[in-house]
Structure 1
Amino acid sequence: MVSTIPEHDWGSLKAVDFFCGAGGMSFGLAQAGIKVIGGVDNAVDCKLTYEKNISGAKYIRHDITRLSAPELGRRLGLERDDPNLIFCGCSPCQFWSKIRTDRTKSVKTAFLLKQFRRFIKYFRPGLVVVENVPGLYRRKDNEILLEFLKFLGLQGYNFTDGVVNANHYGVPQNRMRYLLIASRVSEVEPLPIDKKEMRFNVADFIGVHNGFPAISAGHRDDTDFQHTAAALSEKNIRRIAMTPASGGNRGAWASEPELQINAYRGRDNIFRDVYGRMAWDKPSPTITTRFISLSNGRFGHPDENRAISIREGAALQTFPKDFRFYSSNLGSLARQIGNAVPPALARRIGEHLKVVRNG
């Protein structure tokens, strides 16, 4: 059990985490003193991570389209119309994301909100949380969300929803997310925003001063700390070595014929974050599933010549240092971390749900 989850302060609220992945939402809710009964996901590589870190919760590996509500109830001991039950739905979001993905696969993710609706209708939990990419909310042609909101109203839920920045809730990232909080047992207010002086930057979470030893690209850490960084080609090492520390971008080597990228010749005003370094005194960009890759965003370390490590990405997602991710594959570890709800955001949601439930 991870030491930062309280052992006895469960209170009366309990939660089921749909599309739980590695357990970011579950972990944050547990930190808030909410008992997490279980998580549901079809990912093979998240099971061990979830079970090892979310104490007392069951990981139900199942395709949600083939999981019936009564079966879920039997496996987790759920009761219908329980005012203290929370359902969290943080479904995969490729269809609504701005990031380029395989469109055929991503279309399937667009309809998972409808699947989540089946379980809400059957169990009628007291509280419902949805966290997703802002595209779910901003797409004007999105009938799926409109239908879901109408469904909640017909089921007797009142709700608050909108786009929030995770940096306003203890996360050192500019991570924009759609957040919905609904209740059928009490009124709901928006999640309170942290004061500006309480918001965090990259330097608050990573760096030698925070216990992250300096390492080189390609460094492998087989300890539980998992301070492993992806290897870089000789050309990319030259590129990042020329990139100014703390916020520099690829404009520093745009005039170098051997280093400039063909797609950006004469177009250095587009995709300026690609190959860039994070800035110590600013929040990081959104930690995606490809944060270990220098060429997939502003994922360069602020002053070391490499992309950020597995543990640094986890830290910027606000996972504690003793939260161990399980896989022998670097890409799988990055996906587990990048797809997760930041625990600090989840904890604030959990604390707010306790206030909502108590009226």
Structure 2
Amino acid sequence: MSFFGSFSFLRIKFQRVLRYLDVAEAIRPKILLIENVPQMLNHGFDGRLGKLSETVIDMLEKDLGYNVKVAIVNCADYGVPQLRERAVFIATSVGTASLPMPTHADPLDVNALGTGRMPWVTVEEAIRDLPTPPLLNDSLGGTDLKNYNEMDQTDFMRVMRTSNTFPYNHITRSYRESVLNIIREMRPGLTWVAESARMREAYATTIELFARELKISGAIAKKRLEQSGAINPVFYKNYYWSAYSRLAWDKPALTITANANFLGSGQFTHPTQDRGITMREAAQLQSFDDDFRFITSDNDKCDTKRIGIGMDMIGEAVPPLLAGALANHLADQLDQRGRPVISKATAQAI
């Protein structure tokens, strides 16, 4: 019986990691790669925080004989226009495990930029060329590339343009007026914490003036202003710190998740338009190029309109540019280890 069987009581998402190692035990590949949320490194097991990742490392090193490297990587450091952190485990039996060198860095990190790394790719560089999307239909998909906004392409945009036609999944949905009333007040790049505080401060002045004018208490003035619609009571609520917040043109996005269809779940509102990001905008922020078409129905291979299903696929994925950086790095290591060793005498004879 495999020594991994005793861990079957772990949470499902971590059972997948253990099942992966179970397969590795059977086939013994030269290199293993595990990618998961950063919280995996602190996940409790056997009564202690962090014990799960330690257990995985012990299994790889002591039981399977791999050399292991573990790190938290930021996808933005590999050209993805998104501040998405992931825990990466690399295990190798053909040398020393290592991670690919980052290609990008925080634009404020002068030292990193001095080594040749490029500044992080911003939201503007990633999606500014995408036009205002149609409502509830994917009518732009498969049409002429002229439907892109006219502008000079950034390096990232050129990497994304892998199709001869406009990409699919650039579609928006309608939002309740209550949601629109919130996001209309939000400024690009600022959090719910900052923006709700700003709104409450502005409301305090309005309440004070109104109470003084009518010679009523502040509480009564506030209630009447809420009833009239002059004050939105939602800004007195303590939501998640990035709820309803807008993307900033001049920065990478925050993590794009499977919940990007719900504006209250994070920073998923367009920088300037009063709507959430489309599937295509989310895909480009994940670094999926134009050739990717997200089919959102099991029964209809032309269905690209179900935004919630599309966001699930996009938000749960490993960003392709990060996956490519890891894959190319590991392929180079395998190529180097696979080359025959040539003696000096043989080399001179050649």
The residue number in structure 1 matching 2:330 is 353
- In the alignment, is residue 332 of structure 1 matched against residue 241 of structure 2? no
SS in 2 for 1:205: helix
Q: Which has the higher contact order (CA 8 A, sep 6+)?
A: 1
Count of matched residue positions in the alignment of Structure 1 and Structure 2:
248
- In the alignment, is residue 215 of structure 1 matched against residue 192 of structure 2? no
Q: Residue 260 of structure 1: CA displacement?
A: 3.7
Q: Does structure 1 conserve the Cα–Cα contact (< 8 Å) formed by 2:188 and 2:245? A: no
* 1:274 alignment partner, one of 235, 239, 243: 243
By percentage of residues, which structure has more strand? 1
Write the distance in 2 (CA, Å) between the matches of 1:194 and 1:248: 28
- In the alignment, is residue 318 of structure 1 matched against residue 287 of structure 2? yes
By percentage of residues, which structure has more helix? 2
- In the alignment, is residue 167 of structure 1 matched against residue 76 of structure 2? yes
Write the distance in 2 (CA, Å) between the matches of 1:354 and 1:266: 50
The residue number in structure 1 matching 2:120 is 199
Instruction: Sort the Cα spacing of 1:156 and 1:206 in 2 relative to 1 into closer, same or farther, 3 A.
Output: same
- In the alignment, is residue 241 of structure 1 matched against residue 184 of structure 2? yes
Give the RMSD, CA atoms, in angstroms: 2.4
* 1:148 alignment partner, one of 35, 39, 56: 56
Is the radius of gyration larger for structure 1 or structure 2? 2
Instruction: Sort the Cα spacing of 1:190 and 1:168 in 2 relative to 1 into closer, same or farther, 3 A.
Output: same
Q: Does structure 2 conserve the Cα–Cα contact (< 8 Å) formed by 1:201 and 1:284? A: yes
Q: How does 1:75-90 map to 2 (within 5 A)?
A: none
TM-score, normalization by structure 1:
0.64
The residue number in structure 1 matching 2:268 is 299
Instruction: Sort the Cα spacing of 1:261 and 1:150 in 2 relative to 1 into closer, same or farther, 3 A.
Output: farther
The residue number in structure 2 matching 1:12 is none
Letter in 2 for 1:188: A
Q: Residue 110 of structure 1: CA displacement?
A: 2.4
Unaligned stretches of 5+ residues in structure 2: 1-8, 106-117, 142-166, 204-224, 298-305, 338-350
Q: Which range moves more in the overlay, 132-141 or 192-201?
A: 192-201
TM-score, normalization by structure 2:
0.65
Write the distance in 2 (CA, Å) between the matches of 1:253 and 1:234: 18
The residue number in structure 2 matching 1:265 is 236
Instruction: Sort the Cα spacing of 1:248 and 1:161 in 2 relative to 1 into closer, same or farther, 3 A.
Output: closer
1:271-291 per-position Cα deviation (integer Å, ceiling 9, x unaligned):
331111000001101000011
- In the alignment, is residue 177 of structure 1 matched against residue 83 of structure 2? no
Q: Does structure 2 conserve the Cα–Cα contact (< 8 Å) formed by 1:173 and 1:287? A: yes
Unaligned stretches of 5+ residues in structure 1: 1-103
Q: Does structure 2 conserve the Cα–Cα contact (< 8 Å) formed by 1:113 and 1:144? A: no
The residue number in structure 2 matching 1:62 is none
* 1:343 alignment partner, one of 320, 325, 329: 320
Instruction: Sort the Cα spacing of 1:266 and 1:287 in 2 relative to 1 into closer, same or farther, 3 A.
Output: closer
Q: Does structure 2 conserve the Cα–Cα contact (< 8 Å) formed by 1:221 and 1:228? A: yes
* 1:230 alignment partner, one of 163, 168, 173: 173
